[in-house]
Amino acid sequence: MVGIWLVGGGVVGRRVNRFLAHLHPSLLDPRRPSLDGVRPGDVAVLVSGGPHAPVAADLLRRGAAVVTAGDDPADCRNLLELEDAALAARVPLVIGAAMSPGLSGLIVRSLVGSLARCSEIHIAFHGTAGPACARTYHRSLSGQSMFWHAGDMRSAPGGSGRELLWFPEPVGPQDCYLAEIASPILLHRSLPEVERITVRRSARRRDRVTARLPMLRSPHPEGGVGALRVEVRGVDAEGRRCSLVQGVAEQVGTASAAVAATFAEAVAARELRPGISLAGDANVVNLGLLDRVLRRGVRLQEYCGDASG
């Protein structure tokens, strides 16, 4: 029987544990991780704070498959460099299996299938899960936001590029800004033909002003209802320009855990090929992973325009 190892006991980790309880995962305390019992062919789900690449490299050397749920661009780049190690071990390495990146990539790939050609992808994100996620949110507004534009991966200061965007209710309209999140890097790998890819997250004026300072108060145990907005633009089968928008409004920890658990199940069932797998890859939609996430209670909403028009 394949062993499922869970590294991370925060909000996301506890919910992954709940989603995978029927598979009897081993819950590891992220403060005192012990991976001595990992065997070749086991699956490790990394949902702890901090870099995942060093732990993933060690697990791949042991022959274990890895699912990671981080969004730090530098860490994701380091994980992408482990492709040869995953291929040598003949196991999958899933990078970015959370809400964004993760669920955003599944939705993007689903929407792109409705277009004859996709030219732009725009991701927006609202809310945080637990304390580690809140600290990442704080840092993301002071770092460099990566975005793909006209054949080049560029950067802009986090907290710039304001746009007022509408999320699914009950979140509604929020001011959103460019942020240091790995989604454009991973989506460009999955969809290299797309000309423009951006990611933003919601923020208040106070968040932007204090982003370059240490956090002034301890992070909350868990945030309120979060939201994800995915927009793809392109040309339909009749040559008309169109824009498709879908999103979710859900606790960030719940949505992220649903994605991580779904990928872990797929890896354990040998449904993903060896090497790197990303949520935006074409093969993951063919496996119905988005449907499996939705069956875990995450509700997908679609913007259909103004009915009065």
What is the per-residue pLDDT across 182-231, written as a single tens digit (0 to 9) for each? 999 999 999 999 999 999 999 987 776 666 666 656 666 777 899 999 99
At a CB cut-off of 8 Å and minimum separation 6, what does 155 contact?
144, 145, 146, 147
CA dist 177 and 187 (Å) reads: 19
| Phi, psi of 176, deg, nearest 5 | -125, 150
Do 114 and 131 meet the contact criterion of CB atoms below 8 Å apart? no
Query: How high is the pLDDT of residue 224?
Result: 85
pLDDT at 307 over 60: no
Q: What is the CATH number of domain 103-252?
A: 3.30.360.10
The residue extents of the domains of the chain are 4-98+255-295, 103-252
Structural element, H or E, at residue 202: strand 196-202
241: exposed, middle or buried (Cβ count in 10 Å: 0-12, 13-18, 19+): exposed
Structural element, H or E, at residue 74: helix 73-80
pLDDT at 176 over 50: yes
pLDDT at 23 over 90: no
Query: How high is the pLDDT of residue 21?
Result: 85
pLDDT digits (tens, 9 = 90+) for 74-101: 999 999 999 999 999 999 999 999 999 9
Q: Which whole number is the average pLDDT over 272-295?
A: 93
Query: How high is the pLDDT of residue 143?
Result: 86
DSSP annotation of 23 reads G
pLDDT band for position 135 (cuts 50, 70, 90) = confident
Q: If phi over 0 gives left and psi between -120 and 50 gives alpha, with beta otherwise, what is residue 172? A: left
pLDDT digits (tens, 9 = 90+) for 29-62: 544 556 778 899 999 999 998 899 999 999 999 9
Instruction: Quickly name the fold that domain 4-98+255-295 has.
Output: Rossmann fold (3.40.50)
Torsion, Cα 250 31 216 211, to 10 degrees, reads -60
- pTM of the full predicted structure? 0.92
